[in-house]
Structure 1
Amino acid sequence: MDEKVKYELEFPITSSPQLLYQYISTPSGLSEWFADNVNSRGEYFTFIWDDSEERARMASKKSGERVKFRWVDENNKDSEYFFELRILVDEITKDVSLMVVDFAEQGDLQEARQLWENQVADLKHVLGSV
């Protein structure tokens, strides 16, 4: 397996940081745009898409600002890979952006970016932020 590379994407979002945080940090919020279904048990989240299921641990969070999920194996052991969703607010304009930090194999980078663009488009639709 190729080594994965870290990448970041930033998406402007018309939403309050508090509302946006609900959609990036709760199972019900995440299941509205990120995965077909999301369940949580304590700090462990199960993300379900069609026939695939992935588990992650909420490694850190700061209310209203960011969440970080670290992928885990079947024994709940942390992998070296994670994805982080950060809410950025411009101090002057108060514009809100969502910063995505994720990993992908070099050959899959473009596809991974496209996937996030599609998912964040769904998030914007749910938020009424077009």
Structure 2
Amino acid sequence: MAMPATSVKRRFEMEYSINASPKILFPYIASASGLSQWFCDDVRLDPDHRLNMVWDKQSHFAEIAAQRPGRSIRYVFLDEKKCSQPDANYLDFTLESSLITDEVFLRVTDYSDHLDAEEQQELWESLVGKLREQVGG
């Protein structure tokens, strides 16, 4: 279903402390198999190296727009025809370590037309909870 041209996008940003090293965490945010363990129902790589992220049996295609190995990755979502679009939804995952406390943080930036900030926060709390279970942190 196409979104109306007037949809308003919001940038949701949150940091979550995760008790695991960036080396252990990075594959969970940057690989299809890792993402499918906590982020969505399934993730497949298509022949054109686009990610097909599946939620509730619906495909959402994304491309990796930027990546700093071991540190961060950005997924930009494509339209129904798997094409880039202006002002596209995107997701950034960034791993940061505190030199003082040795804690590792996952910073999530979710730029989308998600309307309810409280619901979005609950969604990410739940997803990151699943990630923590996977990595034992």
TM-score by length of 2: 0.87
2:20 to 2, 5, 15: 15
1:92 to 100, 107, 110: 100
Give the letter aligned to residue 62 of structure 1: R
* RMSD of equivalent CA atoms: 1.4
Give the alignment of 1:23-62 within 5 angstroms.
23-41=28-46, 42-62=48-68
Separation (CA, whole Å) in 2 of partners of 1:67 and 1:107: 24
CA contact under 8 A between 2:74 and 2:92: conserved in structure 1?
yes
Specify every segment of 5 or more residues in structure 2 that has no aligned partner in the other structure, as ranges.
none
| Deviation (angstroms), 1:92 | 1.9
- The ranges of structure 1 where at least 4 consecutive aligned residues each deviate by more than 6 angstroms after the TM superposition are none
Match of 2:124 in 1: 116
| Deviation (angstroms), 1:71 | 0.4
CA contact under 8 A between 1:12 and 1:98: conserved in structure 2?
yes
| Deviation (angstroms), 1:106 | 6.5
Aligned-pair identity in percent equals 29
Specify every segment of 5 or more residues in structure 1 that has no aligned partner in the other structure, as ranges.
none
Over residues 32-54 of structure 1, what are the superposed CA-to-partner deviations in whole Å (9 max), with x where a residue is unaligned?
00011101135410111122221
CA contact under 8 A between 1:104 and 1:112: conserved in structure 2?
no
TM-score by length of 1: 0.92
CA contact under 8 A between 2:38 and 2:131: conserved in structure 1?
yes
